């Protein structure tokens, strides 16, 4: 009897956790498991804003796949997925093709640009190790150039962050900590630097408690961050942006626009033939695609509704890792010929947003609000817990965050 082929696409939180769970529950004789990823490493997506600001070296964020995946049990292929063919049970890669009996789609996210002119061409995004490194280097280059031109260009030191959601605010917090160091290094008056968050909603961090939002804004404003809320970005150019606020359009000169105002599932999902809802697969309770019962979807590519709010759960690392556990459990059941599959239930352990190395806000244990050092401590513990689930104590000791005092 041929062993079933399990193919996992993507080594983000959902994909890597599915692989790790399967290698513990299945032997080589049970199934042939293949993991495909563009890079030979997994990266902590929730740390990319620190890499982009230059407050954390990118090597800390990168985890070699061979360090956490047992390649005696799981075949790893470093390649880029270019097409999904679920009707044919095939996946086309840049350098070949693979077939499968069961597929796990964990291809991550892309920036959602909402059709804003010039955004794709001129804005930076925080969506990978390389994109984060590019932002860091670009900011440092502009600081270095500021005092090396005959006429100073203020737009070099104007840093615009498009979006006041989780990623934008966490990046602003890290940037607020990094800018004083850059000013000292490049002999620049901190008053010459502007950090501006442009958010279309009436407030930053939609969904957070107003008290915590106020704390976050006060903390960031005290470190030089400006907020333009209720402001819609209309155009992004290489030398500035146009935004609309109170029915008036304003120009803001800048050489650095970092777009952090929304993500969408990998576009391959939308073109795959899988039944989708605005690019995401609204999975069944067992995490399978409604149109293809041999396809599981995890992380940013999966849509799961919160019955209490009537809105989709946000695609966080926490939910992706929990989804992966359900998927792994169900794959093991299918491999062993069992028909009853487990339904996914999200256990919300809380949400914490960093405002820099020693400051944060959050909600834990249902409705307990935390902020300041307490929230920052909790954020680091959450990060360490994720590392532990991926690679155990060894990975925590190697990559973990312990600067809590």
Active-site residues, by number, are 170
Residues 36, 95 contacting (CB under 8 angstroms): no
Q: Tell me, what DSSP letter sits at residue 107?
A: -
C-alpha pair distances (Å), 80 with each of 10, 108, 324, 367: 9, 13, 21, 42
Q: How far apart are CA 175 and CA 195, in angstroms?
A: 8
Q: What angle do CA 7, 386, 331 make, to 5 degrees?
A: 30
| CB within 8 Å of 371: residues ≥ 6 apart | 212, 215, 359, 360, 361, 362
Q: What angle do CA 85, 91, 92 make, to 5 degrees?
A: 105
For residue 326, which of 285, 356, 363 has the smallest C-alpha distance? 285
For residue 389, which of 335, 338, 337, 321 has the smallest C-alpha distance? 321
Q: How far apart are CA 239 and CA 257, in angstroms?
A: 9
Compute and round to an integer the Cα radius of gyration of the chain.
22
């Amino acid at each position: 009897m041929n062993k079933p082929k399990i193919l996992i696409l993507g080594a983000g939180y959902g994909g890597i956790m599915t692989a790790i769970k399967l290698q513990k529950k299945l032997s080589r004789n049970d199934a042939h498991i293949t993991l495909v990823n563009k890079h030979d490493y997994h990266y902590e997506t929730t740390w990319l804003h620190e890499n982009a600001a230059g407050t954390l070296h990118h090597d800390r964020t990168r985890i070699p796949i061979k360090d956490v995946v047992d390649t005696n049990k799981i075949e790893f292929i470093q390649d880029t997925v270019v097409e999904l063919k679920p009707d044919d049970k095939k996946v086309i890669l840049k350098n070949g093709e693979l077939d499968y009996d069961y597929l796990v789609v964990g291809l991550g996210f892309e920036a959602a640009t909402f059709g804003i002119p010039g955004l794709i061409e001129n804005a930076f995004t925080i969506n990978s190790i390389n994109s984060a490194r590019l932002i860091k280097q670009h900011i440092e280059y502009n600081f270095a150039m500021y005092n090396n031109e005959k006429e100073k260009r203020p737009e070099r030191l104007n840093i615009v962050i498009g979006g006041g959601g989780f990623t934008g605010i966490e990046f602003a917090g890290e940037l607020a900590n990094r800018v004083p160091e850059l000013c000292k290094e490049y002999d620049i008056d901190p008053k010459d630097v502007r950090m501006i968050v442009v958010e279309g909603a009436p407030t930053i961090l939609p969904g957070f408690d107003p008290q915590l939002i106020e704390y976050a804004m006060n903390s960031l404003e005290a470190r030089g961050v400006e907020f333009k809320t209720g402001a819609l970005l209309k155009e992004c150019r290489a030398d500035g942006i146009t935004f609309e606020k109170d029915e008036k359009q304003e120009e803001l000169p800048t050489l650095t626009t970092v777009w952090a105002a929304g993500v969408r599932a990998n576009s391959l999902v939308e073109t795959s033939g899988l039944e989708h809802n605005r690019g995401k697969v609204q999975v069944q309770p067992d995490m399978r695609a409604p149109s293809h019962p041999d396809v599981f979807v995890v992380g940013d590519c999966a849509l799961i509704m919160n019955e209490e709010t009537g809105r989709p759960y946000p695609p966080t690392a926490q939910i992706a890792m929990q989804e992966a556990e359900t998927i792994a459990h169900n794959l093991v059941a299918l491999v062993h010929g069992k028909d009853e599959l487990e339904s996914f239930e999200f256990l919300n352990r809380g949400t914490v947003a960093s405002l820099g190395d020693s400051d944060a806000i959050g909600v834990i244990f249902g409705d307990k609000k935390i902020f300041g050092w307490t929230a920052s401590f909790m954020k680091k513990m959450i990060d360490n817990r994720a590392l532990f689930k991926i690679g155990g104590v060894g990975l925590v000791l190697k990559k973990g965050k312990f600067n809590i005092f």
